[in-house]
Structures are given as C-alpha cells and as structure tokens.
Structure 1
C-alpha cells in the first residue's frame, strides 16, 4: 500500500525499551514479515550516547530501518528508530523531534511518544514495553487503551532487565504478557485483522 501523503490510518507499533532491549528487538523483528502493513517505531531511551540500532537491526528484518529525522513521513513496512536526546511526537502523518523534556533522571521518551500517538494517530495503536530499567511507558498505557489500542509487555522471565515490563504490568492496563516471539505473533494477528476489516485482506 502506498500511503505517501495520503492515508494515515495504518497501525503503528511502538516498541519501548532500554537496558536489554536489543535482545528483545532482534527476537521480535526476526519473527515479523516485511509486508504486513504496519510501521514499527523503536523508542529506546538512550540519553548519553548515540544509538546504533539503525546499523544493527537491518540484519534482523526484511523491512528498511531508518533513523528518524524531523518531519519524516511515517510509512508502513518500515522500522523507525528514535535518535538520542530527543522527544518524539507525531502530527499530520509525520514524525516531529523536540529537545528531550527530561534531561536528568530516568528518561520518559516512551511515555511522551505514546501520549502523542494516542492524541494524533488515526490508525490502530499497539504499545509494546520490553526490557529496560525504571518504568518509562507505563504512565501512557491507560491512554492507549482509552483510544482502542492494544498494550503488550514482555514476559518477565524473557527480559534481560524486567523493570520496565514489570512497571507496565503493574498498571493493570496491559492486554498481553508475552515473549518477544509471541509478541510478534500478536502483532501479525492484529495487522491481519486490520487489513480484513478495511477490505484489504
């Protein structure tokens, strides 16, 4: 589906993580096809050093992997990576980068992005919280649920650092608790349901 400048109603999957996240991202991406009509946005809350995910992850997926730049068009069948030291927002079908709003302490870039999605994205939302320290993303899960989105946390025994998925689960707003491989299956099922409901399947 070519959506350049037109449709903004395909699903977005936000995968939020930090410490131990690379293991989860690679396991997840290896089990996703490249043509399911979904945009994957990896929000890894690194703050003090440059991300290398856009150089590492192409070996794990058939989808193009892009480091997000300001005003970049959001398109399906791609993996997008947040740059360091930036908050990420969406508006009008594009990504928007802003200076990080919480420069000290644990970052909340996942929470910021999920809240922007809940307010501004027309398509289905899937929020995935994987391995990482602290609880970034948890505070936004209720808002994702309120707009009809799906929330998923990595199963704690499969996470190298379980703090973030544990914090997500503790909110009571998580639909599924799964391994990265099973999360991929859930994303694929939801993507197929969206295609079928819109007459594309």
Structure 2
C-alpha cells in the first residue's frame, strides 16, 4: 500500500499555492520504450568512451528541432503526453483535454498537461557537449524526438527545470528509488547515440546502477 505526503507547490506567477498529493511508494506510470536491463546498462556503460565534455560553443536548442509533427495532428510532445499519461483524452488537434500524469522523478500526480514537461533524459546541451555538435541537423532532430528509445519522458515541469542540462553527477531525480531506472535510461540513450561520458558522470552512473 503506497504512503502519501503533501507537497506544497508554489505558483508564484498566480500569487497562490497549490497542494498536491504525492505517492511516495507508488509505481511510476511514465515508462519510455527501450530501457535496457540493469545488466545490459552496466555492460553498455563499460563500453562508452570516457572523455572530458566539449564546450557549448555554437549551441542552441534550435539546432535540435523538436516537437515535430508525428502524424494524426500530433507533435512529439503530445505523443509522449498520451503515452505516459493515464486515461488521457485529446481534442481534434491532439492537445490533451483530460487525464493524469505521475512524474517518476518526484512521484507527483498532475491533471493538467501544462504542469508537465517532456524531459530529454540526456539534455540537448549535454548531447552537444558529448558528440552532437558534430551531427547533422537531421541527426539532432532524430535525437530530440526519439520515440523508440529511453530519451523522452513526461515529468513535473519545475523538476525538469531544476535538472536543466546537468548530468547525473550533478543532478539526480528527487526519488532515490528511481535512480536505477534513470541511470538505465541515461546509459541507454548515450549508448544508442554513441555519446561520450566524463569520469564524474561514469562514477555517478556506476553508483546508481549499483542500486538495481
């Protein structure tokens, strides 16, 4: 039986506070495809090239065209919102009109799509620093809209903003129980796209996979 606690989320723009119920022990519902097993992730981590991160010279999010059209009037964000949500209903334009989302990073449950960000598990800026600067625009677009790998996931918006472009040595999901899965997703994406990792990142990932 999951336990719950109350978390007060400040909505400063509205000058009010909202209280939401967070399931601490509940199972997360957002599950991207292609998450490697712990054993595979550990094996893949050992093969990743360890190198210092490159610079952000020349980087911009516009060089990773994202939320592209996926057919049926849906863009990538809308596809992930429907995939990772529970009982999601949509209008003719594919925008959600109902449903709920459980963010696995912090356990929060939301009923408004505006409270949800689609996180790039390996942030676009991190990808740029670790190999994507040399990619074509088409390759960066494929990475930023990947619906077949563990690269996109629906999470609480302000938690995603706290993460920013940090790698696991600098940021981990607030729920420690999700660290194993997060590390598996991170390694899976870096391995799929042949991106490098730095030594601190590898140490953090090794530790997180040790929880699996």
How high is the TM-score relative to the length of structure 1? Answer: 0.29
- Which has the bigger relative contact order, CA under 8 A and spacing at least 6? 2
How high is the TM-score relative to the length of structure 2? Answer: 0.28
Larger radius of gyration: 2
